Structure 1
Amino acid sequence: MSNRVAIVDLGSNSCRMSIFEIDGESYRPVYEVKQNVRLAEGMMGNRRLTDASVERAIACLRQFVRQGTLHEVDEWMPVATAALRQAENGEDVRRRIEEETGLGFRVLTGEEEARYGFLGVVNTMPIHDAVIFDIGGASSEIALMRDRALIRAASLPYGALNLREMFGRYGEQSCVKMASDQAAEALAVHPWVQEGELLPLIGLGGTARALAKLFLAETHRKTPRLHGFELPASYVEVKLKQLQQMSVNKRRKMKGIAKHRAEIITTGLAVLATFVRTLKPPSLFVSRCGIREGLLFERLLGAADPVVPSVLEFSVRNFQRHFRIDRAAAGAVADMAMRLCAALSARLNLDASDRLVLWTAAQLEAAGAFVHPERWRDHAAYLVLHSDLYGLRPAEWQLVAQVVRFDHREPRAKKLSLLLRLSRWLALELGVEPHEISKGKGGELQVAARRKLRDIAEDTADAKVAEDIRKALQITCVFREPSSAALTSAR
């Protein structure tokens, strides 16, 4: 039986809620909302949360409760982070919030916050070794991941908002330098961080996302999904130097920077630049999944170590359940696709990424029929690009979408699309088993025709794929009667 879970993350700068429908070990995103509440604003003087910031948070949470009621939420999982953790009146504020909203918040420790960020990343990104960071409003979390396991984690008591409040009065240039120095001093307390030197950095939170959006705008690039996007680590210093030369008003007009982040973007980047100088990462990845997804996977898997064995396989199975894909049919097409890859790999120069993309496309292509049987290929491509699918790089997901659409405009997509069509034709329309496929001489692909498939093949819906394959890839499908020895072996 499914139930709806609302996960609320009350942060120092923003408050977010994600509602998921959970059924066993599968889930479906239902609703997501964010509001900028600036809970930690004005806290630096006496380390107390102000009445104004608390009122903003309570007003936001009341709206969240209303939205959760409309979405028939069965279970609430509210957590709070650095603002309530650090404030002297944090416990009083927590009780007041509970009385006025009915939500009982769990205040995470810094290490717990870092761990949930790790769980959000490890279950949604195909990376084994990395340093994960989350620059918030009043703290910054950092975690070391080796072989998809959490090794160490820590929380620094500085974030983009409180560093701006600490040093903003000294002017932009001095503020950035003092913020960097403060972050470096806090990082030095955790010498184990050096074990992550030369590993990729994975960034959670608004600072990392804003940096990626700035990079995309500046390089005139587009990506269908920001999650997993990679950019050079050197860009951090470059952009920080540019932004600190600009006024806040000018930054507000830049594409990629939300208006509420324009003032604090440079202090957030100052912390990130400190991480880059210390760890010398080859590249920086952006993750849209963090604390809320980490809490989701802990709730979903119910294990002491809630890490899925394979991000891609778990995500594909979850997607199939969501869009009611017949797994037996999808598996038959995928098995045939992998058999064709094995037979034609050398001739078509197929690499590991090609095989992964083709396997994924075969598993997901039928999702389009959930929307409507007409134009199902286009529907499937849209769902692949815009659903919560994880386990491949953004460019690979884009290629999967092209393949399920049978898009022939790009050579690699055309090659894999034709192989997917051939797999569907053989496995679904003709009922051929993978073991009945073998590589013949030259560009010949032999199909054991035990049921005289040659006689019916031309009358099937996509019989034209055989001719398309021959023209485009110089692969000829040949139906042959198997020898008695082959039949005995097959049995």
Structure 2
Amino acid sequence: MAKVTAVIDIGSNSARMAVFKKTSRFGFYLLREEKSKVRISEGAYENGGNLQDFAIERAIKALREFLLIAKSLKTRKILCVATSAVRDAPNKAEFLKRVKDELGLKIKVIDGDKEAFYGGVAAANLLYEKNGVTIDIGGGSTEFALIVDKRIEATISLKLGTVRLKELFFDKGDIEGAKKYIKNELEKLGKVFDSKKVFGIGGTIRALSQAIMKKIEYPLDILHGFTYEIKEHKDFLEKIIKMSDEELLKAGIKPERLDVIRPGTLIFLEALKYLGAKEVITSGVGVREGVFLTDLLRNDNYRFPDNFNPSVRTIIDVYQIDRKIASYETKIALEVFDLLKEEFKLDDKYKMHLTYAIKLSRAGELVDFYEAHKHTDYILLNSLHYGFRHCDRLLISKIIRFHKRKKIKKKEIEKFKCLLPKKDIVEKLCNIFWVAKLININLSMPQVEITFSKKDKKIIIKGENLYLAKERSKTRELFFDLEIVNN
């Protein structure tokens, strides 16, 4: 597979390009993303579905510049797909030919099931939850994919789109007609797409999540993986349908989405009601990532290997982390954790946080050795993008940020109280992390066995080449007694 791949998605409302760079077989990161509100579907639904000349011109201009950007980034492969508005257009052949002749770009028009499949591949591989139903609201259609244990079991595409409903109903003030139309389309779902968890894909759902985050003063400015209970925000979402443009702007809706957010919200609410969903997990990924991953994982059943996380692997690749050292220090941390967990009531679930904190802790050293813990905190909080809950990535990053202290200032984690465990738990995990780093202070990864034991409330660690560790241990007060014996 090419090292740099560009994926272009021509939707009914926007054309977008995402450029991905591989760091290893399965490691990758987003190199560049561009968007143009070409609205290829504008005027189409009132004209028999035909793409209008002015919309085609906008699309060609945007695609021309997308290709210039891709070329400048040394892109070796360009995958371009078009969805609802183009596939439904009687004159789509004319559009495809113009793009091929003028730009040399071949567009693959995908059907609704394929579009739903791509969204499902992205959600199944890049969100933390294994089971759920994707809802991908676009300008011309809405796609659903049933995901069971990270496998796509069913897909469907309905003619429910924000631009479609805007032109057919909302522009005419016929909200009741829109509701009836939506309900009729949703009946096609049947009982197959049954899940209490929804993976929300697409600009409408992302915009609604951002509005909810603003409303509740959410402490992280991270959209992918943001999760909320529907019952807590149903009234707010219903109000959006009736808000004026001014009220929508105050609620955090961006100007370019004002004309389609109302029909999009109505589609979303009716879909949630039909499914009987209880929880929404916001997806920052969709068709573009799905196209990329389908290509990347084409020989692996469109799934990453078990226990593989692409964000973790990418950080290891980019920041040149020594995995042998990381594995050794992880082993130390888990040995100490197991000795302490019963007495200090530490849940086994925190082993995961300690493991990732240790494995990725040296990322910030590439920026600045002396302040590495601060830089790593920032890197992980903003780069552990895929496969983690917000609470997990926050705890992992804060263990590193505060590991040099016995006590953390209350004000430093107060704003994260809805996501972090109690302060004393964080402090205990930080102490264990510090000991793991201390024992391997000389980075020797000794072949001689290091033994761990516990006597009363004291942890005893014995081994060779522990002189520096023993000396340094006397400078730090921990929540448990520590004795280091240098043989």
- Which of 452, 475, 478 matches 1:438? 452
- Which of 46, 57, 70 matches 1:55? 57
Supply the AA of the counterpart residue of 1:181: K
Q: 1:452–1:326: structure 2 CA closer, same or farther, 3 Å change rule?
A: closer
Q: 1:246–1:38: structure 2 CA closer, same or farther, 3 Å change rule?
A: same
Deviation of 1:442 (Å): 2.4
Task: Point out the more displaced range, 233-242 or 428-437.
Answer: 428-437
Deviation of 1:288 (Å): 0.3
CA distance in 2, matches of 1:433, 1:151: 48
What CA deviation, in whole Å up to 9, does each residue of 1:13-61 have, x standing for no partner? 1111111122433223211111211111111122111111111111111
What CA deviation, in whole Å up to 9, does each residue of 1:384-430 have, x standing for no partner? 12225322201211111111212633433322222111111113437
CA distance in 2, matches of 1:352, 1:148: 24
- Which of 93, 96, 100 matches 1:94? 96
The sequence identity of aligned pairs, in percent, is 27
Task: Check whether the contact 2:346–2:425 (CA below 8 A) recurs between aligned residues.
Answer: no
Task: Show the counterpart of 1:201.
Answer: 198
Q: 1:35–1:369: structure 2 CA closer, same or farther, 3 Å change rule?
A: same
Task: Check whether the contact 1:126–1:311 (CA below 8 A) recurs between aligned residues.
Answer: no
What CA deviation, in whole Å up to 9, does each residue of 1:435-463 have, x standing for no partner? 634341322212123x373x54344xx53
Secondary structure, aligned partner of 2:362 = helix
CA distance in 2, matches of 1:387, 1:162: 36
Task: Check whether the contact 2:4–2:19 (CA below 8 A) recurs between aligned residues.
Answer: yes
Q: How does 1:334-349 map to 2 (within 5 A)?
A: 334-349=330-345
Task: Show the counterpart of 1:487.
Answer: none
CA distance in 2, matches of 1:312, 1:394: 18
TM-score, normalised relative to structure 1: 0.89
Task: Point out the more displaced range, 402-411 or 292-301.
Answer: 402-411
TM-score, normalised relative to structure 2: 0.90
The CA RMSD measured in Å over matched residues stands at 2.2
Secondary structure, aligned partner of 1:256 = coil
Supply the AA of the counterpart residue of 1:115: F
Task: Show the counterpart of 2:66.
Answer: 64
**2:239 is equivalent to residue 242 of structure 1:** yes
CA distance in 2, matches of 1:432, 1:390: 34
Supply the AA of the counterpart residue of 1:468: E
Runs of 5+ consecutive residues of structure 1 not aligned to the other structure: 482-491
CA distance in 1, matches of 2:375, 2:223: 21
**2:295 is equivalent to residue 299 of structure 1:** yes
CA distance in 2, matches of 1:388, 1:36: 29
Q: How does 1:303-318 map to 2 (within 5 A)?
A: 303=299, 305-310=301-306, 313-318=309-314
Task: Show the counterpart of 1:191.
Answer: 190
Task: Show the counterpart of 1:479.
Answer: 485
Q: How does 1:321-360 map to 2 (within 5 A)?
A: 321-360=317-356
CA distance in 2, matches of 1:98, 1:138: 23
CA distance in 2, matches of 1:390, 1:456: 38
CA distance in 2, matches of 1:364, 1:270: 43
CA distance in 2, matches of 1:39, 1:86: 12
Task: Check whether the contact 2:450–2:462 (CA below 8 A) recurs between aligned residues.
Answer: yes
Task: Show the counterpart of 2:108.
Answer: 106
Deviation of 1:129 (Å): 1.3
Secondary structure, aligned partner of 1:324 = coil
Supply the AA of the counterpart residue of 2:59: A
CA distance in 2, matches of 1:277, 1:62: 41
CA distance in 2, matches of 1:348, 1:314: 33
Supply the AA of the counterpart residue of 2:426: A
Task: Check whether the contact 2:21–2:31 (CA below 8 A) recurs between aligned residues.
Answer: yes
Task: Show the counterpart of 1:486.
Answer: none
Task: Show the counterpart of 1:18.
Answer: 18
Q: 1:377–1:181: structure 2 CA closer, same or farther, 3 Å change rule?
A: same
Task: Check whether the contact 1:230–1:284 (CA below 8 A) recurs between aligned residues.
Answer: yes
Q: How does 1:101-250 map to 2 (within 5 A)?
A: 101-171=103-173, 174-175=174-175, 177-193=176-192, 195-197=193-195, 199-235=196-232, 237-250=234-247
CA distance in 1, matches of 2:2, 2:474: 44
CA distance in 1, matches of 2:49, 2:155: 25
Task: Point out the more displaced range, 26-35 or 11-20.
Answer: 26-35
Deviation of 1:213 (Å): 1.0
Task: Show the counterpart of 1:271.
Answer: 267
Deviation of 1:152 (Å): 0.5
Task: Show the counterpart of 1:447.
Answer: 461
Task: Show the counterpart of 1:468.
Answer: 477
Task: Show the counterpart of 1:457.
Answer: 469
CA distance in 2, matches of 1:275, 1:367: 42
CA distance in 1, matches of 2:164, 2:465: 75
Deviation of 1:98 (Å): 2.0
Deviation of 1:272 (Å): 1.0
Supply the AA of the counterpart residue of 1:417: C
What CA deviation, in whole Å up to 9, does each residue of 1:303-327 have, x standing for no partner? 2611113465443123201221111
Q: 1:126–1:43: structure 2 CA closer, same or farther, 3 Å change rule?
A: same
Secondary structure, aligned partner of 1:201 = strand
Task: Show the counterpart of 1:40.
Answer: 41
Task: Check whether the contact 1:21–1:28 (CA below 8 A) recurs between aligned residues.
Answer: yes
Supply the AA of the counterpart residue of 2:203: G
Task: Show the counterpart of 2:417.
Answer: none
